[in-house]
Amino acid sequence: MGRDALGEFEHLIMLAILRLGPEAYGVPIIDEVEARTGRTVSEAAAYLTLRRLEEKGWIKSRVGEPTPERGGRAKRYFKLLPVGVRRLRESRTALVQMWDGVAAELDR
Amino acid sequence: MGRDALGEFEHLIMLAILRLGPEAYGVPIIDEVEARTGRTVSEAAAYLTLRRLEEKGWIKSRVGEPTPERGGRAKRYFKLLPVGVRRLRESRTALVQMWDGVAAELDR
DNA sequence: TTATTTACTCTACATTGTTTAGGATATATA
DNA sequence: TATATATCCTAAACAATGTAGAGTAAATAA
């Protein structure tokens, strides 16, 4: 694949990070994608994708403090980097251009 | 990958078929994706994806008559099957749901 | 019969997506 | 302080999708 391909799942994960803002860590990211798309998201798939996105330099993570709850390993928070935002926008633009004019037909 | 995953490139190819209607064969499909998305599409990538989509039962092809032009091997025409249209719509819905409310933010 | 044009195929490999299982780090409670 | 339990993350193997380079097939032109 090209050096800057963005798969559908990567796309969804990045959008979840964008939506969640400062509360973007593993579990809510998974919940957000599941809630909005209706598809099941396995933990491993999500965390693996998050690591790959970081290796590509599109997102960045930091480890937070453990919270005083019943259980609780420290959370890893994610945020989009400018390059990631740009890539996401490009991908969206491509799809919007292709959908232009046929979206209505698709819904019949 | 899941039994019914739809990659980004597959998504674009299916939309090109939808857009082109009865004139949907290899070369115009490639041209359409290139013209609307700005990305370069290699012939091999397109034809391979078309064959895979047909194996999955989302599109169907038939070989046409050779046209009286300078060169001219017969064209292979493609069209979406109902299952393919459904899958395309599902994929679009998932993305629209995730974009809802953040598309504007993405454009700043 | 050879060259040229249009259309499509083969093979190999890189990247992305999924699954199954398990590990790490914290608090609760006896 | 040992054991249970909750939350969050990792490892490894494999399947599906995406890309590139070279090549084949079938037609017309000269």
Q: Tell me which DSSP letter residue B21 carries.
A: G
The residue assigned the tokens 């939808």 is B18
Mean pLDDT of A66-79: 77
Nucleic chain C: which protein residues 52-91 of A have CB below 7 A from it? 52, 56, 66, 68-74
Q: Are A56 and A72 in contact (CB under 8 A)?
A: no
pLDDT tops 60 at residue B72: yes
- Cα–Cα distance measured from residue B31 to residue B45, given in angstroms and rounded to the nearest whole number: 13
Contacts of B12 in chain A (CB under 8 A): 94-95, 98
pLDDT bracket for residue A29 (50, 70, 90): very high
Enumerate residues 6+ apart whose C-beta is below 8 A from A34.
A40, A41
* DSSP H or E segment with residue A28: helix A26-37
pLDDT bracket for residue A5 (50, 70, 90): confident
Nucleic chain D: which protein residues 7-66 of B have CB below 7 A from it? 7-11, 40-45, 48-49, 52, 56, 66
* Closest-CA distance of chain A to residue B71, Å: 30
* Nearest in space to B15 (alpha carbons), one of B75, B87, B65: B87
Residues of A near B (Cβ–Cβ under 8 Å) read 5-8, 11-12, 15-16, 18-19, 33, 36-39, 85, 88-89, 91-95, 97-103, 105-107
Give pTM, 2 decimals: 0.89
Q: How does B59-94 read in b/e, with b if 16+ C-beta sit within 10 Å? A: bebeeeeeeeeeeeeebbbbebeeebbebbeebbeb
